[in-house]
């Protein structure tokens, strides 16, 4: 009877995996919205008068407030102070609000308004539609990045002492399914509405509202779990830890060499992945000589192996370890793929070869995140874990903000994708260097990055 009373929600496998699905769905819809315009790059440029530089500015805007207004740092403090329920609902609401503004910005109606005319003439030469869409994408980006860190802390809470790496791997797999889904659905929805760029954005905005509802259900479950933790005497200790959080605790994070190694590895690796996703459909369209829809469908294969392998690698990490080694192997694969895009695919522009490289790149996208995010709780105190995740995301966002601008300008200057792909490959080389350093430091200090998460 006592054992029954002490059993908590997250002790039940079906319940904790249901909680995982609810938070993962929010990220799934978020990932769909992030890349909804990527398959439509050529269409947006012709319909709204954008060029590659404008598209790069729009893509970079997702990270602007996070980086230059330090929103992600504040998000980490909010997360550690207010908890995963408040922060998750706030982040989901910001995603919806930003999506609505972006939808208005690219709508046909907005092009005829006085506000759009004023935006056309105000500040820079960017079209008014790009400025309004970028504003919405900035707000969406605040919510999306905050949601990513919140979900990581939520999984760490619900799967503590359990299948944490597997759960994080599955969450990432479900989220990445959003990339696959949007590469197919965005062109399809666009074609259904006579080559519309508005309809796909509106469709993904509606899905974000569903994601908000999913997180609301999760919040109710988490509230019940907290009640059980209080009843068992565990919650009081966690609450006092949260209440003791001070701004000065951030110094503990910044003074950690391991934190900086993980953060720099993260920014370099993801700078060669997410900005590449923005341009990949157009790259395949130009290199293979196919239409935009076909190029988007070819690139949709990117997350396929990532979706399958990330949970398996998470399970391997739980039971066997080798996290630092995974980071090294993933960086090597990424270097090889981007160099193949730069030099081999233009020489052999076959669809099967393009898909092969894209899918292999997805293997890299499995290895690195599967090992990276579960490693953070091993090097950072749980009390400031939310802030640590947010600071890593903030540093990551610096790269994700700058790189799309860089690639867009390089494209306008060179008129081709060879140099951009070499830039992406160079990020991989630097990521490999930091992953080697990380493995050396782990061996010296014994953080356990090569050790399994589940102790026998």
Sign of CA dihedral 185, 189, 194, 196: negative
**Burial category of 108 from C-beta neighbours within 10 Å (exposed 0-12, middle 13-18, buried 19 and up):** exposed
* Residue 352: φ, ψ to 5°: -65, -35
d(CA 242, CA 409): 45
d(CA 7, CA 13): 12
SS3 195: coil
CA dihedral 83, 87, 88, 89 (to 10 degrees): 120
| Cα 55 → chain centroid | 19
User: Residue 4: its pLDDT value, please?
Assistant: 43
User: Residue 323: its pLDDT value, please?
Assistant: 82
d(CA 411, CA 339): 17
Structure-token pair, residue 111: 């092009």
User: Residue 371: its pLDDT value, please?
Assistant: 79
d(CA 197, CA 191): 9
User: Residue 131: its pLDDT value, please?
Assistant: 93
CB atoms within 10 A of CB 360: 17
d(CA 435, CA 64): 27
pLDDT tens, residue order, the chain (456 aa): 344 446 788 788 889 999 999 999 999 999 999 999 988 988 998 889 898 889 989 988 998 898 888 888 888 888 878 889 999 999 999 999 999 999 999 998 998 899 998 998 887 778 999 999 999 999 999 999 899 889 988 998 888 778 777 888 788 888 888 988 999 999 999 999 988 999 999 999 999 999 999 999 999 999 998 888 787 776 654 444 444 556 666 777 888 888 899 899 999 999 999 899 889 999 999 999 999 889 989 998 887 777 777 777 777 777 887 888 888 999 999 999 999 999 999 999 999 999 999 999 988 887 887 777 778 878 887 777 777 877 888 898 899 889 998 999 999 899 889 999 999 999 999 999 999 999 999 888 888 888 876 665
**Burial category of 402 from C-beta neighbours within 10 Å (exposed 0-12, middle 13-18, buried 19 and up):** middle
Q: How far separated are the first and last CA of the chain, in Å rounded?
A: 27
User: Residue 88: its pLDDT value, please?
Assistant: 95
The whole-model pTM stands at 0.78
User: Residue 247: its pLDDT value, please?
Assistant: 66
Cα–Cα separations (whole angstroms), residue 142 to 37, 135, 205, 239, 347: 18, 11, 16, 26, 41
Structure-token pair, residue 337: 């793929």
User: Residue 107: its pLDDT value, please?
Assistant: 93
Domains of the chain: 13-445 (1.20.1250.20)
**Burial category of 10 from C-beta neighbours within 10 Å (exposed 0-12, middle 13-18, buried 19 and up):** buried
SS3 122: coil
């Amino acid at each position: 009877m006592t054992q029954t009373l002490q059993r908590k929600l997250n002790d039940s496998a079906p319940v904790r995996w249901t909680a995982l699905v609810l938070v993962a769905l929010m990220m799934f819809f978020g990932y769909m919205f992030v890349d909804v315009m990527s398959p439509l790059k050529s269409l947006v440029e012709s319909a709204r008068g954008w060029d590659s530089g404008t598209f790069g500015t729009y893509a970079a805007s997702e990270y602007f407030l996070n980086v230059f207004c330090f929103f992600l740092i504040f998000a980490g403090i909010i997360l550690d102070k207010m908890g995963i329920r408040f922060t998750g609902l706030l982040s989901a609401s910001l995603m919806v609000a930003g999506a609505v503004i972006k939808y208005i910005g690219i709508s046909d109606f907005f092009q005829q308004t006085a506000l759009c005319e004023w935006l056309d003439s105000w500040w820079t030469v960017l079209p008014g539609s790009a400025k309004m869409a970028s504003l919405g994408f900035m707000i969406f980006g605040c919510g999306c990045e905050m949601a990513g860190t919140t979900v990581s802390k939520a999984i760490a809470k619900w799967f503590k002492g359990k299948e944490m790496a597997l759960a994080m791997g599955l969450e990432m797999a479900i989220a990445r399914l959003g990339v696959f889904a949007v590469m197919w659905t965005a062109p399809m929805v666009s074609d259904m509405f006579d080559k519309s760029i508005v309809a796909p954005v509106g469709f993904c905005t509606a899905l974000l509202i569903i994601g908000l509802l999913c997180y609301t259900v999760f919040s109710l479950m988490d509230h019940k779990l907290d009640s059980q933790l209080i009843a068992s005497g565990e919650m009081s200790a966690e609450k006092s830890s949260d209440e003791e959080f001070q701004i000065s605790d951030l110094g503990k994070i910044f003074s950690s060499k391991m934190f900086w190694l993980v953060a720099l590895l993260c920014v370099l690796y993801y700078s060669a992945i997410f900005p590449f996703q923005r341009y990949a459909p157009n790259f395949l369209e130009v290199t293979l000589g196919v239409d935009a829809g076909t190029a988007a469908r070819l690139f949709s294969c990117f997350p396929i192996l990532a979706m399958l392998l990330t949970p398996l690698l998470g399970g391997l990490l739980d039971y066997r370890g080798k996290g630092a080694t995974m980071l090294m192997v993933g960086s090597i694969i990424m270097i090889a793929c981007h160099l193949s895009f730069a030099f081999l695919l233009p020489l052999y522009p076959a669809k099967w070869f393009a898909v092969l490289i894209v899918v292999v790149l997805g293997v890299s996208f499995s290895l690195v995140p599967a090992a990276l995010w579960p490693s953070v709780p091993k090097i950072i105190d749980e009390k400031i874990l939310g802030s640590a995740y947010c600071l890593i995301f903030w540093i990551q966002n610096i790269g994700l903000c700058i790189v799309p601008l860089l690639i867009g300008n390089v494209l306008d200057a060179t008129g081709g994708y060879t140099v951009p792909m070499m830039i992406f490959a160079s990020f991989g080389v630097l990521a490999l260097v930091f992953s080697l350093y990380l493995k050396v430091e782990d061996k010296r200090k014994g953080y356990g990055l090569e050790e399994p998460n589940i102790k026998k």
